[in-house]
Amino acid sequence: MPIHRARAEEQMFNYLKDSDKEALLAQLRPKHHESPPRVPGGTRVTDEALNQRWKLLNTSPEVQERLLDPQTLNDRELFKKNIENFIGTVKVPIGLIGPLRVNGLFAQGDFYVPLATTEAALVASYNRGAQVITEAGGCAVALVSEGVSRAPCFAFRNMEESAAFIAWTLGELERFQQVASTTTRHGELVDMRITVEGNHVYINFDYYTGDASGQNMVTIATEAILAYIDENSPVKPQFSFIESNMSGDKKANALAFTSVRGKKVTAEVIIPGKLIEKRFHTTPEAMYRHYQIGVVGSSLIGTFGIQGHYANGLTAIFMACGQDVACVAESAVGLSRLEVTKDNELYASVTLPNLMVGTVGGGTGLPSQKACLDIMGLHGADKARSLAEVCTAVVLGGELSINAAMSCGEFTRAHQRLARGRQQAAASEEVTIESFVEAASE
């Protein structure tokens, strides 16, 4: 993360060059005066607990009202299992996109999808993509793999012990599976992946997690396995930890990208050139040309896969639908591909190897989150694979729409910019809201 000297001088260190340098640096020192009170109350949501917390904050009544509105206050018991030190709720606006025709192995039909975001034009852009997919007959989507792992580490005195330990574990998979099954009805230990690194052994215990995203499920099951190992292993680890960072939880990483974490889904659509022109005001060729540039750009910056903005669509669905939004870190990776066919159609596909979604557990049962899942008919049992396929279809729509906006800008930019005053053009990340919404509301 080096900073070039010249830049460094302009930034942090221009404050450090003047006469107050000493004072500024002194700001960094620990300060041991007394601190204000801790936030009281843990999981309690009683009036008293809420009052105590708000009293600490010393804010205007309007602030409290914005977070602790009547509906929220009324529902507070419903939030209890999902939050501690509760003080209210933040309201994230939801826009609807669709219909999005999904021809999946699990999800079938035309979906209206709720997206929660505060970023202008995002909903309009994804909506445009969804509609073009639908007009093209929908997108094929296939969930092709799944699995969530928890990855403990076991430390031994030396390699002789670590090798002996592995030799033992290889014969124990069935027992591990039994032990795991005592902790969960829906989860299932399916495999182990083993890493020997000197006297340390890492095991990725790979689970199917049913309709749950599954992080808690695999933790509890793996803890039970560790207890079994503690008791039964012929070689005792000097120490072990339930997680070593090898599960890849909450971080984009090469191991998950090159295998699977959560669900791996691939989707494609083939769009006639005429439809591209009609809805996207560009051509398959121009879109492909922009894609090529993006491919090189992706490679030059060293990212996982090739994609435009998976994170936008995934974050919006995850927030709306009570998913673990922090999993966007690992989920928003994958590979988009565009091609132009002999018949001047646009071929487009997206492949997401690390989609962490669930339709039970986590935030999926909270009132407004459940409502969002209900809009799609995707709350509860036997729906997680469908949700993964719908997410992938949404992402495909988003890739198409942003690419079209950029490739279209190529030709129109000069004119647009001059013709239209900058001030009133509340431009979005890619193009103006207006143009998206035009397309969206035609």
Catalytic residue numbers?
119, 324, 415
Nearest-CA neighbor of 308 among 415, 184, 196, 398? 398
Is beta strand 239-241 parallel, antiparallel or unpaired with respect to 262-271?
A: unpaired
Q: For a second copy, which is the closer residue by CB, 381 or 417?
A: 417
Tell the smallest beta-carbon distance from residue 96 to a second copy (Å). Answer: 5
Tell the smallest beta-carbon distance from residue 142 to a second copy (Å). Answer: 6
Q: Is 437 in the site for a second copy (CB under 8 A)?
A: yes
Report the Cα 273 to chain-centroid distance in Å: 32
Q: Is 61 in the site for a second copy (CB under 8 A)?
A: no
Tell the smallest beta-carbon distance from residue 344 to a second copy (Å). Answer: 16
Q: Is 73 in the site for a second copy (CB under 8 A)?
A: no
Tell the smallest beta-carbon distance from residue 407 to a second copy (Å). Answer: 7
Q: Is 406 in the site for a second copy (CB under 8 A)?
A: yes
* Single residue of 210, 282, 283, 290 touching a second copy by CB under 8 A: 290
**Residues between 220 and 279 with contacts to a second copy, criterion CB under 8 A:** 220, 223-224, 226-227, 230, 239-246, 248-260, 264, 266-270
322: left (phi over 0), alpha (psi -120 to 50) or beta: left
Q: Is 392 in the site for a second copy (CB under 8 A)?
A: no
Q: Is 342 in the site for a second copy (CB under 8 A)?
A: no
- List all residues 6 or more positions away from 43 whose beta carbon is below 8 Å from its beta carbon: 80, 81, 83, 84, 86
CB atoms within 10 A of CB 236: 15
Nearest-CA neighbor of 207 among 246, 242, 247? 247
Nearest-CA neighbor of 346 among 357, 336, 361? 336
Q: Is 151 in the site for a second copy (CB under 8 A)?
A: yes
Q: For a second copy, which is the closer residue by CB, 277 or 288?
A: 288
- Beta pairing partners, 305: 334
**Residues between 187 and 206 with contacts to a second copy, criterion CB under 8 A:** 190-200, 202, 204
Q: Is 69 in the site for a second copy (CB under 8 A)?
A: yes
Contact 110, 101 (CB under 8 A): yes
Number of residues this chain uses to bind a second copy (CB under 8 A): 243
CB atoms within 10 A of CB 81: 9
Residue 312-331 contact track with a second copy, rule CB under 8 A, x = bound:
x-xxx--xx-x-xxxxxx--
The H-assigned helical ranges of 147-210 are: 159-170, 173-181
Q: Is 185 in the site for a second copy (CB under 8 A)?
A: no
The answer to whether the Cα torsion of 159, 160, 163, 168 is positive or negative is negative
Structure tokens at 266: 């691939």
> Helix or strand or coil: residue 272?
coil
Tell the smallest beta-carbon distance from residue 178 to a second copy (Å). Answer: 14
Structure tokens at 196: 């020997």
Q: Is 284 in the site for a second copy (CB under 8 A)?
A: no
Contact 184, 217 (CB under 8 A): yes
Q: For a second copy, which is the closer residue by CB, 39 or 277?
A: 39
Structure tokens at 343: 């018949």
* Single residue of 186, 311, 380, 412 touching a second copy by CB under 8 A: 311
Q: Is 55 in the site for a second copy (CB under 8 A)?
A: no
Tell the smallest beta-carbon distance from residue 430 to a second copy (Å). Answer: 7
Tell the smallest beta-carbon distance from residue 206 to a second copy (Å). Answer: 8
Q: Is 98 in the site for a second copy (CB under 8 A)?
A: yes
